[in-house]
Amino acid sequence: MGRLLPLILPLLLAGCADLRMPWSERDPAVEVTVAPDADAPRPETRPDDTATIAPMGASGLTAAALDRPSSAERAAAQAGAGQEGRLLGETLASLGAPGETGFWLVTGLVSEPVQGRVESEAGQSVGVELRPSGREPGAGSEISLSALRALDLSLSSLAPLRVYSVR
């Protein structure tokens, strides 16, 4: 043990280097603040913040204003509502692109566009064009604004739907 003490003692004392000892005089740490140069890239100024966007319904477009299917499209959707078909499955649907008119459902339940019908939990149904999404069948679907309104469903919810193929 006596031979190891001279080897271990310097290691133990080296670990105490940060302790303030009465005989050690150190300068206090100096904080340095670096300011960017005048030619350093800076973020662009924002446009005038006084311009605000009106919420939907106040002075913006309403769902009724965006829902503009032709009378032929609406008649075809209503006619498709009464058709029987083969049940493809069930899906949760959210609102798709509101600017894309027509009655459609983008879903993973089909691999090519076909005519079909969707039915809500309340029993209301509407004829739609079933479009493939390229995703798995259980990955959810997107439904057109016109079809969502025809089913009398909330625009902001996930709607459980039964999807039928009509050929």
Q: Which amino acid is at 6?
A: P
Average pLDDT over residues 76-96: 80
Residue 138 to residue 93: CA distance in whole angstroms: 11
What pLDDT digit, counting tens, does each position of 15-73 carry?
A: 666 666 666 666 667 777 777 777 888 777 766 655 555 555 555 556 665 666 666 66
| CA–CA distances in Å: residue 142 to residues 30, 66, 97, 155 | 60, 16, 8, 11
Q: Encode pLDDT of 126-156 as tens digits.
A: 989 999 998 988 888 999 988 888 888 888 8
Domain locations along the chain: 66-165
Domain covering 66-165 in this structure, CATH number: 2.40.40.10
pLDDT of residue 80: 59
- Report the C-alpha gap between 70 and 166 in whole angstroms: 22
Tell me the whole-structure pTM to 2 decimals: 0.57
The distance in angstroms from the start CA to the end CA of the chain is 94
Q: Quick one: pLDDT band at residue 7, thresholds 50, 70, 90?
A: confident
